[in-house]
Chain A
Amino acid sequence: MPNMQQTKTKMPELEPAYRASCFEEVAVGYSEEDAVNEAKRCLNCKNRPCVSGCPVNVRIPDFIAAVAEGDFERGYEIITVTNSLPAVCGRVCPQESQCEGKCVRGIKGEPVGIGRLERFCADRHRTHGDVKKEKITPDKEKVAVVGSGPSSLTCAGDLCKLGYDVTVFEAFHTAGGVLVYGIPEFRLPKSIVSYEIDGLKDMGVKFVLDSVIGRIMTVDELFEEGFKAVFIGTGAGLPGFLGIPGENGCGVYSANEFLTRVNLMKAYLPEYDTPIKKMKKVAVVGGGNVAMDAARCAKRLGAEEVYIIYRRSEEEMPARAEEIHHAKEEGVIFRLLNNPTKINTDERGNVVSATVIKMELGEPDASGRRRPVPIEGSEYDIELDAVIVAVGTTPNPLIRMTTPGLETNRKGCIVTSDGVTTSREGVFAGGDAVTGAATVILAMGAGKQAAEKIDEYLSSKR
């Protein structure tokens, strides 16, 4: 008999006032009792709508059934057949628009907490399971993976399991891509990312850090070095700006710069040399997860007033519901249907305020969302000392600038024929480098598909 409790089993969380002062993970995670209780809410539907909502087709009802029986390790094994980074996905996937969005239990009440259960299985495995992965001796060709974010890690892991000799090239001094420079510690502890990367290393994947492909070696030179296929998972790292006056003032940052200083360069820890401005009043422009992350980081660094300025309404916000909820709990002030038109600076170029215009929603635009229209004469100023721009990113131009014959589109995204196969023979791509900024799980799905295609391609050449 399933547990007919209408709402999800409550996720234990740190108190908002406490957590807004530190970088500890906000959601503490389910206990075994919580997990079993939540797993029993699953109806084990025959047609499995949840699975169709998952970009990597995790066998959701099966792993949940294992959890309900208390066989947590089996639950983990079922997940990892199709998802190599469950501890990450359980934390950062937009479940409400994917698996949980399709859950039958969501029609009357809340859907099953699939993400929370996935995270539980992964965390329990990490703390209880047999952690050391066995080394695989490669018996197939050398493959280069460029970038070390979610698509690359997935692709590298899958190729390694198939017997390929895989080398990952990362530009930064730490592997993990957006998982380490972008997503903050309080949402995704970095120890989890390094655990996953250590697992790949145990299996035999090689990581070469500090290597900007396109500069130290081009894609063509990788082939000359003996790599038989190349996967490009370089993400969408080039920050967009607003194009309004005052944007080059001191105290205006891209979310990338701000988050990198905080997350990768650990500006919040005193033993690190990274400087970060003391901010009192901060506005973050944008409505996605990156905007929420930046706002919550600013709060944790001691800002007294933190605003989210977003030109549409909450309904159109691309951020996960949970992030919006957490940001509000932590005291972030939402100025929705507002759009900055000018950043004002003093004579030394420092930000002093932003001029903001109020908006109203008009007809739906190309994205299907209602288009925001400025309300004439509604401008007002918000006193600020910092502005963080989180209005999206586009793919980095380095690879396309240095790889002749690699077709890219108007937005700089790599063009593929089937999602992962590029216009250059032996070159595959996936994740944000192909789609433009999207989600961790979609990138992982592409990494997985690319591994299959690379295997097909290299097998056909033998």
Chain B
Amino acid sequence: MAATPALLELVSVGRRLAGRAVLRDVSFSLRRDDVLGLLGVNGAGKSTTLAIIAGVLQPDAGSVLIDGKNATDDVRTMRDRIGWVPESVPLWPELTVIEALDACGRLRGLSKPARKTALERELARLELTDLAQRLCGQLSLGQKRRVGLAQALLHEPDLLVLDEPGNGLDPVQAAQLRELIGKLKPGRGIILSSHDLAEVEAMCNRVVILHDSRVRLDAPLETRRGKLDAQFRSIAAQPASAAA
């Protein structure tokens, strides 16, 4: 019997930006119920990797497979299967939370009854009911992150892509985020980027370390607990290659 394909698979993905190689031969995979932490210093290529997975950027080389099917050229697959929350949550400051989420539902092609159900579900799940009529431009960073997550979850995606989800959150909000990711994990795959080891250790069961545009470590976290800090420091200390 053929093995079930991974939910997400990156095969030799490469990308150049402004004449510089940002990603080179990046390959890793993610299965359902996995929470994969993408670690790396600033400029390692984490956000670019996530933007390629989300379909916002096109890879120069390689491919992104969702359930074994090439997603890079298939907008519909990307839209239906992936929910993406970039580092700075893109909201429309003039719209209320409920209007912004409704607009996102329309963009994803949800019917009116489906939008209503999805809005009620996500407002409750992310504790946004009290903020529903508040303008997005008036929200705090933590609240914006929750609205960002709500828009990414409206269509119940199989794969959740979170770029630096804990960045700028206070300890209480960070703990709430960890709890939320634990709740969201069953039945879907989650990939999140971070440069915070503690955050990755608390939320993820697998880790990929990117350095100098390449994958330097891809391993289950349970085998690395306690050793990850030293390993990350050792990888991050390696000089970047001069190759462009």
Chain A bound to chain B: no
